[in-house]
Amino acid sequence: MRYLLLKKANFDDFISSLAQIEKVVAPVSRGYNSFSFAEVKSGKEITLKYIPTVLPPKKYFMPQREKLTEFNKAENSVEAILEYEKMVIFGVHTCDLAGIQCLNIVFSDKPKDINYLVRKNKLVIIGLECNDYCDQYASCKVVDNHLPNGGYDLFFTELDDSFIVHVNTGLGEEIVEKTRLFIPNDQEHLNKLEAIRARKREIFKEEVNVKHKDLVTLFNDKAFESKVWEDLDKRCVACGNCTAVCPTCYCFDILDNINLDLNTGDRTRRWDSCQTEPFAKVAGGENFRKTRGMRQRHRYFRKFRYPAERYSRYFCTGCGRCTRTCMAKISLKETVNALAAEQKYKK
């Protein structure tokens, strides 16, 4: 739609005035070079230069625990419900914008998930550009997420003493109206933005020895039998960290909870991990992914092959969280490179 400018001097006012209208969440520092999205009241609480948060903003779109139905046994009634909260999410990197797009696709695939689809439109997304690599674990270029590909209401790019802001939607315009801190930009600012993007095109290189389009073919039937998974079998401890932090992992469990009156209660879905042992076990005891290696293989194929076949999109956003968080130091880039080497792939 259009570009506007926000002076850095006004950033704190911007967040605090926004926080008066709506709940605002943004990346805050947790120490030890860790960050998480949390509620903020002022811009000072926000860390603008952050590496991907421990959990991605997925937690607002698909809460860790979400009530689906409520029941009353005595009245023999069940109601389907949605619990939601209006919120502005500030500071979403392009990798996480891509993650949200992946979730949108999954939950709008038929049959549609009404809970997700209604909730997502209660959330305002303000993106924030990474002008440089966050760290050595990221691989956003190979999956093409180092530059913005939509999925936001406003998008901030840091210039010298200001942010150039892309206003992408009506919701974004509303924020501009309500906060009254944005000013028109000059051509000079657009030139600077273009210079940043040009520099990014230079410094962001495919982080693995595989081309973007070839990732899906790398995860072929032969790769299913690869030695790589035997290696991961020995190293993985099935702590489930990689799936918890992944912006595109959406597996869940559904559990009943009864209240202490033993009459009313709810059916709740909760994040689940395909890396845990019981995940694919049927009631009779058969486990269809018995070993940690099989489960790791499943995770990788769920990022690079199955969604590519179903939705023509990789479900790896290149955020690097799974590698960053892995206790066993299993690295996504190393795994992909090992597969490429095994298949004697040439870029």
Partner 1 sequence: MKKAKLTDSEYLVKTGKILRTKQMTKLEKYFEIALPGGENLEHEPGQFVMVSVPGVGEAPISISSSPTKRGSFELVVRKAGKVTGVLHTLETSDTVGIRGPFGKGFPTQILEGNDLIFVAGGLGIVPLRSLINFVIDNRRDFGKVDILLGCKTPQDMLFGEEVDEWSKRLDVNFSCTVDRADPEWKGNVGLITSLIPGVTLDPERTFGVVVGPPIMYKFVIIELLKKNIPERQILVSLERHMKCGVGKCGHCQIQNYYCCKDGPVFTYDQIKDKKEAL
Partner 2 sequence: MKPRVAFFDFTCCEGCQLQMANFGEALLDILNLVDVVTFREVMSERSEDYDIAIIEGSITTDHDVERVKKIREKAKVVIAYGSCATIGGINGMKNKFDLEEIKKYVYKDGAKHFSTIPTRAVHQVIKVDYFINNCPVYPPEVIKVLKAALQGIPYEVPDYAVCVECKLNENICMYDKGITCLGPVTKAGCNSWCINNGNICYGCRGMVSNPAKNGQMDILQKYKIPLDWVVNKVDMYNKPRELEEEKPKK
Residues near partner 2, by CB under 8 A? 30-32, 34, 36, 53-55, 64, 234-241, 244-245, 258, 260-262, 271, 273, 276-278, 292, 325, 327-329
Phi-psi region of 15 (alpha: psi -120 to 50; beta: other; left: phi over 0): alpha
Q: Which residues contact 177 (CB under 8 A, 6 or more apart)?
A: none
The most distant pair of C-alpha atoms in the chain lies apart, rounded to whole Å, by 69
Q: Which of 17, 22, 29, 84 binds partner 1 (CB under 8 A)?
A: 84
Q: Which of 177, 188, 202, 286 binds partner 1 (CB under 8 A)?
A: 286
Strand 162-167 relative to strand 154-158, pairing: antiparallel
99 vs 151, beta carbon nearer partner 2: 99
Shortest Å, Cβ 75 to partner 2: 18
What does 260 interact with, of partner 2, partner 1, none (CB < 5 to 8 A by kind)? Answer: partner 2
Confirm or reject binding of residue 198 to partner 1 (CB under 8 A): no
What does 117 interact with, of partner 1, partner 2, none (CB < 5 to 8 A by kind)? Answer: none
Q: Are 315 and 239 in contact (CB under 8 A)?
A: no
Q: Which of 30, 44, 73, 199 binds partner 1 (CB under 8 A)?
A: 73
Q: Which of 1, 9, 80, 237 binds partner 1 (CB under 8 A)?
A: 80
Shortest Å, Cβ 235 to partner 2: 5
The 3-state DSSP class for residue 94 equals: helix
What does 305 interact with, of partner 2, partner 1, none (CB < 5 to 8 A by kind)? Answer: partner 1
Q: Binding to partner 1 (CB under 8 A): which residues in 228-267?
A: 250-258, 262, 265, 267
Report the candidate in 187, 133, 141, 132 with the shortest Cα–Cα distance to residue 164: 187
Q: Which residues pair with 3 in a beta bridge?
A: 166
184 preceded by cis ω (within 30°)?
A: no
226 vs 325, beta carbon nearer partner 1: 226
Alpha-carbon distance 7 to 26, whole Å? 19
What does 314 interact with, of partner 2, partner 1, none (CB < 5 to 8 A by kind)? Answer: none
38 vs 48, beta carbon nearer partner 1: 38
3-state SS of 112-177 is CCHHHHHHHCCEEEEEECCCCCCCCCCCCCCCCCCCCCCCCCEEEEECCCEEEEEECCHHHHHHHH
Q: Binding to partner 1 (CB under 8 A): which residues in 115-134?
A: 115, 118
What does 234 interact with, of partner 1, partner 2, none (CB < 5 to 8 A by kind)? Answer: partner 2
The 3-state DSSP class for residue 30 equals: strand
Q: Which residues pair with 34 in a beta bridge?
A: 31
Report residue 130 as tokens.
């990474």
Q: Which residues pair with 166 in a beta bridge?
A: 3, 155
Q: Which of 171, 176, 280, 328 binds partner 1 (CB under 8 A)?
A: 280
Alpha-carbon distance 48 to 51, whole Å? 10
Tally Cβ neighbours within 10 Å of residue 260: 7
Shortest Å, Cβ 197 to partner 2: 32
Shortest Å, Cβ 124 to partner 2: 22
For binding to partner 1 (CB under 8 A), which residues are involved? 68-69, 71, 73, 76, 78-86, 106-107, 109, 111-115, 118, 221, 224-225, 250-258, 262, 265, 267, 269, 272, 274, 279-284, 286, 288-289, 294, 298, 301-302, 305-306, 309-310
